[in-house]
Homo-oligomer: A and B are copies of this chain.
């Protein structure tokens, strides 16, 4: 098990979050590091999906993980056990991360020898969507038990994401979840959204999601 550190991140002092986010991306470009901002509701399976993703990609990419949480180190502990470098970001009650907070995390984890850093954002479909963290791409997880109407109710997060992972498809038989409808509603918000139905539990569909992510990382770091 890799060790991990807990960082108390402070709300950004930068008035202009968008400008700060651009600066974070420039630094990442220089270090040839891809940052994925992963968002979802609490309990959608972010950490389990992340473990599957690490397992799939770790022979090709040097991966780091930043776990953001209001208060706890449950996830960083789990991820560290998977053998990747990880840190825990405590937001001190804040419901999202901004670019300045993300930068504090990136400085602590150290990006020069990493190809991919995944930021596991605070479990919340509203606030994290409003702040550019400086990530190269945004992805979100929606799980089957949450229902197919979520793109109607939380439009912004579907708009700002590049990829949508639909997790827990292994329990589809036990829920009234309409896969065609969720795809229709999600594309209504964002026609370019790439959608990956998976089961992080059984591994089904994980390859397609990881192939997409691997391609994004290579495109970003191609000069390497």
| Distance between Cα atoms of A173 and B17 in the complex (Å) | 45
What's the nearest-Cβ distance from chain B to residue A23, in Å?
Answer: 25
Contacts of A168 in B (CB 8 A): 145
Cross-chain contact B72 with A146 (CB below 8 angstroms)? no
Complexed CA–CA distance, A144 and B147 (Å) = 14
User: A170: shortest Cβ distance to chain B, in Å?
Assistant: 8
CB-CB under 8 A for A43 and B147, given A95-B126, A124-B126, A174-B174: yes
Contact of B74 with A152 in the complex, beta carbons under 8 Å: yes
Tell me which of B70, B126, B143, B147 contacts A70 (CB under 8 A).
B126
* Contact residues, A15-70 vs B (CB, 8 A): 41-43, 69-70
- Chain B residues contacting A146 (CB-CB under 8 Å) are 41-43, 145
Contact A42/B95 with A70-B154, A155-B71 known, Cβ cut-off 8 Å: no
Contact B145 A171 (CB under 8 A): yes
Given A72-B153, A144-B145, A174-B174, 5 more A-B residue pairs with CB atoms under 8 Å apart are A42-B154, A70-B156, A123-B126, A123-B153, A171-B175
27 residue pairs A–B, Cβ–Cβ below 8 Å: A41-B123, A42-B125, A42-B146, A43-B146, A43-B150, A69-B153, A70-B126, A70-B154, A70-B155, A71-B153, A72-B155, A74-B152, A75-B153, A93-B126, A93-B130, A95-B124, A95-B127, A122-B126, A123-B126, A123-B154, A124-B125, A124-B126, A126-B127, A127-B127, A145-B145, A145-B168, A170-B174
